Chain A
Amino acid sequence: MIGLVLVAQETATAAEGQGMLAGGMLEGDMLAGARWIVALLCGAIGLWMMLPVRHGTSRAVGGILGIVSAVLVLGSLLPQGISTASLLFWAMAGLTVGSAVATIMAHKPVYSAIWFAVVLLGTSGLLLINGAQLLGIATLAVYAGAIVVTFLFVLMLSQGEGQSFYDRISWGPIPAAMATFSGMSLVVVLSWSISSAGEEIQATHGDTAEAMALDVMTLDHVATLGRHMFTKNLLAVLVAGVLLLAALVGAISMAEHGNATTAALEATADTSPPGQTSDTVARSDNGSSGGNHV
């Protein structure tokens, strides 16, 4: 843990990384901006080809386009020199983004859930090298340990059969293309606003890149975080506790009422075949009124 903090602090001292991907855009370098746009475009087209919709193109071509996009991004990075921290960052970022793509393109939902666990691994690595130690571990423990496992439970409970058609055809190619385009435009707009805010960002921190004594990078991280949590944010912590309780009660009551509804539906289906008489309908109504509150 301490080693990670040191690595991250070394980042602040490493001056050679100046002009990484975003740094290139920061300097108003049109070439880097254009390369970023082309990389995003390639990535979006490749993503559309890899999505589980039927459009007659091969997923391998989409994969190649995705690799081209990654190479374009890396190509703008390599000339600027490599430090340990930036290498770690880009490895984690690549892992996260790659497995995120795999999550949405997997045909089988179980594979999606497992790839999502890999996304969480990458994210928690990114959080760790950013100095958020508690959050990195909490992401692993809460998300990968609890939420993804619950997802897998539900998947296995609800989908005994391996593959379903709706996972293979989705909504069709045109809606998928529209969705991919909107996602790409979102990223373009966001990165444009990030880069256009670049000068202000530079003015705040300067590019002297000397080791700053950041408060959030302190070594007794958890103690300081706890102090902030239970003094300044005490009310919010209490509200979060109430929220958890409400969610617990809500989930249980939803499960019970849902069971009652399902049972009532099945009872109606069993007792009233197509040629039903008013007599049987009345009887089935009586039978189902016991447990049905919904």
Chain B
Amino acid sequence: MSEAVWFQNYLAVGAILFGIGLVGFLVRRNLIVMFLCAEMMLQGISLTLTACGRFHDDWGGQMMVIFIITVAACEAGIALALVLMLCQQVGNLDVAKWQTVREEGVAEFVNEEIPEDADGEKLWPQLTPAGVKPESLPEREKYRSRI
């Protein structure tokens, strides 16, 4: 591959990675998966920046990726604290639980009928009971049916 083709291939892969991350961010409803998709978009940008840095023979591209990694680490710390707090207040990671903060005049999102679990019957391991049965907290049973 010549240098120009190499550069264009890297840009194409970066664009595809960014596009997939965008689709995931818009489609998924799990707070954490949405966050993973945002990180994936950052990865696409990193690829593009290093390719540009190599193409122009400049260290600025790699330098910017270092700062991207720094900002991503900060973002991960803050977002995970936030997600944990949100999750403790409503009991799950569904972002639709927070639609009360939507803009005025936007219709409420209503779930279509909730399908049965597609995984078929679940096989839970049968363990021999041993020791004392632990005390289970009632508020934990709200969102964990099996402990």
Contacts and interface: CB of A to CB of B under 8 A. Distances in A.
Tell whether A pairs with B.
yes
Interface of A: 11-12, 14-15, 17-23, 25-26, 47, 51-54, 83, 85-86, 89, 93, 96-97, 100-101, 103-104, 107, 109, 112-113, 116, 119-120, 123, 126-127, 130-132, 134-135, 138-139, 142-143, 146-147, 150-151, 154-155, 157-172, 175-176, 178-180, 182-184, 186-187, 190-191, 194-195, 198, 201-202, 204-209, 212, 214-217, 224-225, 228-229, 232-233, 236, 240, 243-244, 246-248, 250-252, 254-255, 258-259, 261-262, 265-266
Most buried by B among A139, A171, A176, A225: A171
Given A135-B62, A176-B27, A22 B20 contact: no
Contacts of A214: 54, 57
B3 A109 contact: no
Contacts of B76: 147, 150-151
B59 A164 contact: no
Dominant SS at the B interface? helix
A180 B16 CA distance: 12
Given A135-B62, A158-B93, A180-B23, A205 B13 contact: no
Interface stretch (B81-89, B100-108, B126-134): B81-89
Contact of A255 (B9, B59, B67, B81): B81
Contacts of B4: 23, 26, 198, 201-202, 204-207
Contact of A158 (B16, B23, B84): B84
B63 A233 contact: yes
A65 B70 CA distance: 37
Given A151-B80, A168-B118, A225-B59, A191 B12 contact: yes
A258 B1 contact: no
Q: Top 5 A-B pairs ranked by shortest CB distance?
A: A258-B85, A22-B8, A104-B24, A247-B74, A17-B1
Nearest to A207: B2
B10 to A, nearest CB: 7
Contact of A160 (B21, B37, B58, B147): B147
26 contacts: A12-B3, A103-B20, A103-B33, A103-B40, A104-B27, A120-B43, A126-B13, A127-B65, A132-B62, A135-B65, A147-B72, A155-B32, A157-B84, A158-B83, A160-B144, A162-B122, A166-B30, A166-B92, A167-B29, A172-B112, A179-B22, A204-B55, A209-B1, A216-B62, A254-B82, A262-B85
A163 B114 CA distance: 13
Nearest to B97: A166
Interface of B: 1-13, 15-24, 26-30, 32-33, 35-37, 39-40, 43, 46-47, 50-51, 53-55, 57-59, 62-63, 65-67, 69-78, 80-85, 87-89, 92-94, 96, 109, 111-112, 114-115, 117-119, 122, 139, 143-147
B81 A169 contact: no
Contacts of A246: 74
Contacts of A15: 2
A141 B71 CA distance: 15
A109 B30 contact: yes
B66 to A, nearest CB: 7
Given A247-B78, A251-B81, A142 B20 contact: no
A70 to B, nearest CB: 11
Contacts of B9: 20-22, 89, 93
A18 B5 contact: yes
Given A147-B72, A161-B145, A53 B27 contact: yes
A246 B71 CA distance: 11
B93 A266 contact: no
Contacts of B1: 11, 14, 17-18, 20, 23, 83, 85-86, 89, 209
B46 to A, nearest CB: 7
